[in-house]
Structure 1
Amino acid sequence: MVNVDRAHEPDPLHTRAAPSDPVPSRVSIGWLLRFALAWFGLWLLIMLPGQFMTAKLAAVVAPDGKVALTSFLIGEASVVILVAVPVLGVLSDRTRLRGWRRRAWVLGGFLLAGSSFALVGFQREPVTIAVLIALVSLGQAAVLVALSAVIADQVPRFQRGRASAAMGVPQVLALAIGMVVVTMLVPDVGGSWAIIGLLAIACAVPFLLGSRDPQPQGDAVPQRFSAALRIPPLGPNHDYYWAMTSRVLVNAGNLVGTTYLLFFLSDVLAVDDPDAGMLVLILVYLVACGFSGWLGGLLSDRLRIRRMFVLVAAALQATAALVLAVVPTWDASIAAAVLLGLGYGVFLSVDQALVTDVLPDRTNRARDLGLINAAQHLPIAPLVAWLVLSVAGYRELYAVAAVIMLLGGILIFRVRSVR
């Protein structure tokens, strides 16, 4: 529910006037917590496969081809999301269920993704696994577009850093808590996929029951469906596309470095228990990310700046990747986990707020956010990893990841309408 006890505060984040738009009221702490819990459920489904569960499943199903199978499944999920997110965004913008314009897609998406996810770990045929992963990705896409649009629909600009933190910080919590569940509490492959799928569905319930979507008013009502299928023109929306490019590169570089971390620990560092080592690194990463994530959102709102935070976040993550490339030791991995956590926490808490501030068309918010979210799921990471690991090793892979992330941070300064 939305708390209406305070009026909108002036926001100097923009360097030019924004289009006329109904001003949302301040959202309450309770709303932010329910919103964060729903994101926690979604991140369980998104983060754990890419960081750990897919690699472990591939090692069981196809031990001799684990890298190829892992790359294929991650790439397949990326392609499904890439195609589905913009289309589902258009449909969400045009949903007319009173009070359920976004929540209907959140509900349906969680049910499809969570139930399919729960079945994946019991399969041993790669084709069946691939079909279920596609269904999981389709459900993830539905939730992703709907929850992302909620920030633009219901959160005033002066709170979007905090809302972005409520969206981003649960990503790290999901990864850390989920890792504890799947490595210590339910280490069995089938059981771990099942428990995570069911837990994700449960996390959506408080937000679905405790909020109500506002109806679009006046010129915010979407028009023709066919017009919404055309992407925003480049000329008047250059800030939108530069923000998209920055996000794609930072996320791709991060994913290049983290997806194959389990293999780095086992094949390069030769740690005795790679699963336990992975858990330690993620817990260190969690502490750093949780600290910088919420703090970054608050400071961004109070200082009314976004771009510098994105650059600092990218630079910290690039430094973490370079540490692994130059000093491939266990102690260096701990230091890299701290740097990566600090950087990614800041990035998560600021980037979504910046992107929401540069949306080109308030009648198609879910579509435009969907395009950015789809673009960040371009299968750049598995392609880069496959190319680099085909001719070099993991140290070179982390050097490439550092360059990609730093470039993404620099390009955010091509955005002119947000400080």
Structure 2
Amino acid sequence: MSASLSTPETATATAPKPVGPLFISVYALAMFGIWMSIMLPASVTLALRISEINPEGKTTSYSIAAGIGTLTALLANPFFGRLSDRTRSRFGRRRPWIVVGLAGTIVGAAIIGLSDSIPLLLLGWIVMQAFVNAASAAALAIVPDHIPARQQGLVGSLSGTASAAAVVVGVFFVQWFPSNILAQFGLPVLVAVVFSALLLALFRDDAPADDDIEPFSFREFLGSFYINPRHSPDFAKFLAALFLIGCGLGVIATYTVYILQDRIHAPEAELPHLITLAYVIPGILAVISAPIAGWMNDRTGRRKLVLGIDAVIVAAGILVTAFAESVPMFLLGMCLVAGIGTGVLYGSYIGFAVATMNDPATSARDLGVTNIAITLPYSIMPFAAPLLLGIGKGGPNYPLLLILSAALTLCGFVPLLAIRSTH
């Protein structure tokens, strides 16, 4: 079956045709592989590799690697998205960058697996982050390019579902090959290559960019990372709302372990088990809730309502976590924030982004900037948090930090309600 959506000559001029279950399934599997190839290293295997190379300085080395990797991803996603938007290859504008991105990801994973020093590992991590974001930027742009509006919520949500499932499934690779670092890095990439190859086989009518695009200049390069609020007011408001909701998620993601240790006072012997529960149970809930959120967006068309409800769920979960004094209460808060809250957000944000974007010629760049809005809080909040944690006496002030992050999440209603182009 071919994903016969539109001819190259009419790709941007006519509405896309509906896609069938086969294409939707293969697209979801390809996104699952792409996300797993980078999220498993970011969450688990990179830390294991660093601990092998530099056991004494592993915490410092990991912090450096995490910071460099996040910065690389933030820059690479919209930049490669911009290049994809402008590509005039006879193979289309999305397919070449999926191939180039996965090829670079393979190179980066091999460098990490074969590295015997931290600088070489950092080089591999930069290469891997840059090129996997090239692949993801091009793959995500398939949604606005070739999926009709009434299917965009569902198909976009599958990317969120894939993201949530990636680490949960990828952990099994670590369990199956506990001492084989090449397998831990390589198998997720192999999954991405296999499923992406199937996607490329179906996605044959990828149209190249128009011939009248201006030459790529330094101004164009800077434009890869900026959305003019005057030209795209609703999209800019959506990005602001997404960033504010992400502030709450970023705090929870960063301080899960420390809250267990310092607030719940979990026994050291039980900590690994509780950490697993804190990630796996919410992860399963996220996998379930993401497609439901996408279906609700398509069914009702009320994207602001769905994202607004999500902001309330995230804020409520953060407040439950802030005042939790027992493991069950802590897990309840995590299920609300990292489970249902994250799932609904991941299941709805791509469809919402597409509904507020106003230039089909820059869809990959715009989704790259959307990626910045949703991930930047994970970098900013850990730097701001120590100022709040230090207020008062008697140890880190987690309640203050969490209450403020819940308030920031609810502030997302201000730009959200101001959006006019979608309900």
The TM tier, using the shorter chain, reads 0.7 to 0.9
Equivalents in 1 of 2:204, 2:32: separation in Å? 19
CA RMSD, 1 decimal: 3.0
- Provide closer, same or farther for how the CA distance between residues 213 and 99 of structure 1 changes in structure 2, counting only shifts above 3 A: farther
Equivalents in 1 of 2:171, 2:316: separation in Å? 25
Q: Aligned pair 1:257/2:260, yes or no?
A: no
Q: Which digits, 9 at most, give the CA deviation of each residue in 1:199-218, with x for residues without a partner?
A: 3333322212222243258x
TM-score, with normalisation over the residues of structure 1? 0.85
Equivalents in 2 of 1:154, 1:220: separation in Å? 20
| Aligned match of 2:3 | 2
Q: Aligned pair 1:287/2:287, yes or no?
A: no
Of 291, 294, 299, which residue of structure 1 is paired with 2:296? 299
Q: What is the one-letter code of the residue matched to 1:130?
A: L
Equivalents in 2 of 1:299, 1:220: separation in Å? 38
Equivalents in 1 of 2:110, 2:327: separation in Å? 34
Q: What is the one-letter code of the residue matched to 1:277?
A: L
Q: Aligned pair 1:388/2:385, yes or no?
A: yes
| Aligned match of 1:354 | 352
Structure 1 range deviating more: 276-285 or 96-105: 276-285
| Aligned match of 2:216 | 225
Q: Which digits, 9 at most, give the CA deviation of each residue in 1:18-42, with x for residues without a partner?
A: xx95200001111111111111012
- Provide closer, same or farther for how the CA distance between residues 353 and 122 of structure 1 changes in structure 2, counting only shifts above 3 A: same
Equivalents in 2 of 1:222, 1:278: separation in Å? 50
- Provide closer, same or farther for how the CA distance between residues 279 and 177 of structure 1 changes in structure 2, counting only shifts above 3 A: farther
- Provide closer, same or farther for how the CA distance between residues 372 and 293 of structure 1 changes in structure 2, counting only shifts above 3 A: closer
| Aligned match of 2:393 | none
- Provide closer, same or farther for how the CA distance between residues 70 and 342 of structure 1 changes in structure 2, counting only shifts above 3 A: same
Of 368, 372, 375, which residue of structure 2 is paired with 1:370? 368
Q: Which digits, 9 at most, give the CA deviation of each residue in 1:58-114, with x for residues without a partner?
A: 555556655544333222122112222333222212222234420111111122124
CA contact (8 A) 1:51 1:260 kept: no
Equivalents in 2 of 1:394, 1:199: separation in Å? 43
Equivalents in 2 of 1:44, 1:394: separation in Å? 34
Q: Aligned pair 1:73/2:94, yes or no?
A: no
| TM-fit CA distance, 1:162 | 0.6
| Aligned match of 1:11 | none
| TM-fit CA distance, 1:275 | 4.2
Equivalents in 2 of 1:60, 1:398: separation in Å? 34
| Superposed counterparts of 1:28-47, under 5 Å | 28-47=20-39
Q: Which digits, 9 at most, give the CA deviation of each residue in 1:244-264, with x for residues without a partner?
A: 222233334323322443455
TM-score, with normalisation over the residues of structure 2? 0.84
| Aligned match of 2:238 | 243
Q: Aligned pair 1:403/2:415, yes or no?
A: no
- Provide closer, same or farther for how the CA distance between residues 149 and 59 of structure 1 changes in structure 2, counting only shifts above 3 A: same
| Aligned match of 2:102 | 110
- Provide closer, same or farther for how the CA distance between residues 256 and 201 of structure 1 changes in structure 2, counting only shifts above 3 A: farther
Of 165, 188, 196, which residue of structure 1 is paired with 2:179? 188
| Aligned match of 2:229 | 234
* Identical positions, percent: 24
- Provide closer, same or farther for how the CA distance between residues 50 and 394 of structure 1 changes in structure 2, counting only shifts above 3 A: farther
Q: Aligned pair 1:312/2:309, yes or no?
A: yes
| TM-fit CA distance, 1:274 | 4.1
Equivalents in 2 of 1:385, 1:351: separation in Å? 23
Equivalent residues, number: 402
Q: Which digits, 9 at most, give the CA deviation of each residue in 1:100-159, with x for residues without a partner?
A: 420111111122124423543554533222211111111122012201211111011111
- Provide closer, same or farther for how the CA distance between residues 128 and 369 of structure 1 changes in structure 2, counting only shifts above 3 A: same
| TM-fit CA distance, 1:410 | 4.7
Equivalents in 2 of 1:125, 1:144: separation in Å? 28
- Provide closer, same or farther for how the CA distance between residues 213 and 221 of structure 1 changes in structure 2, counting only shifts above 3 A: farther
Question: 5+ residue gaps in structure 2?
Answer: 7-11, 391-395
The SS at the match of 2:412 is helix
| TM-fit CA distance, 1:346 | 1.2
